[in-house]
Amino acid sequence: MPKEHDDRVLEVAETLASLGTVHVDLPREYASKHAFEAKQILPDGPTLMLAALVPTQAVFTKRGVLLNAHWKEPDLVLVREGYRYVVDVHDDNDTFSSVARKVESIIFSAREWNVVGVAMVAKGHEKPYAGKLAELEALRATFWKVVATEPIVGAESVVTYLDALMRLPQVASVYGKPDWARVLEVRAAEGSWKEGLVAHARKALDSRRVMVTA
């Protein structure tokens, strides 16, 4: 639900407000509820679509796997001394490919935009889709064969799959080398999610180092 999403974005912004200047993507009716800056838009988007290859239940539908193929508008950008920490809020049942595309887009723009870290916040109220699990396991096994990497069993992080794809020689020169410790995946249903988010953002901003190297 949009209002639930926007309320969570506002909550995240308030949680991180003490760390720098906050830019939020919120509808006009929220203007009286905060004094944050207007949204920021990524400078560019990747031409490749690595996230379309991330194993996800969406492959079993007739809809496009990447509904956000040209995504460039994060929910929140925290800015301090010219460096950016980017946060986006999503449903628990968003597909891996959808979430991965957002992370991929931020990584692609990291050097140009001085991004020091990323947080993907699951709202925590939806149950992840649980159908066709056998087919999903087969898809994941195929993924590891295709990228010629030893399989990581039970991996439930988009980082795992994006890392394998970005290590491919024909891809590495395009995206650079991400510091995956700068990517946080957190569920708002967890009791200590705010503390974890603040700690991650503070450490990333204090580093004063872009999260991707050539």
Q: In what order do the strands lie in the sheet with 76-80?
A: 37-38, 21-24, 76-80, 83-90, 115-122, 183-187
Backbone angles phi, psi at 95, to 5 degrees: -70, 155
Q: Whole-model pTM?
A: 0.93
Residue 58 — left, alpha, or beta (φ > 0 → left; ψ -120 to 50 → alpha)? Answer: alpha
Q: How far, in Å, CA of 8 to CA of 135, rounded?
A: 33
Average pLDDT of the residues in 124-147: 78
| Residue tagged 């990447």 (tokens) | 66
Q: Is the pLDDT of residue 161 over 90?
A: yes
Q: Is the pLDDT of residue 117 over 60?
A: yes
Residue 185 — left, alpha, or beta (φ > 0 → left; ψ -120 to 50 → alpha)? Answer: beta
Orientation of helix 158-166 relative to helix 96-113, angle to 10°: 60
* Banded pLDDT at 1 (limits 50, 70, 90): low
Helix extents (H) in the chain:
2-16, 96-113, 133-146, 158-166, 169-175, 193-207
Average pLDDT of the residues in 85-97: 87
- Picking from 22-26, 156-160, 183-187, which range would have the lowest pLDDT averaged per residue? 156-160
Question: Domain total for the chain?
Answer: 1
Tell me which residue range forms the domain holding 106. Answer: 2-213
The pLDDT, as a whole number, for residue 62 is: 60
Residue 151 neighbours by CB distance under 10 Å: 13
* Banded pLDDT at 174 (limits 50, 70, 90): very high
The pLDDT, as a whole number, for residue 134 is: 80
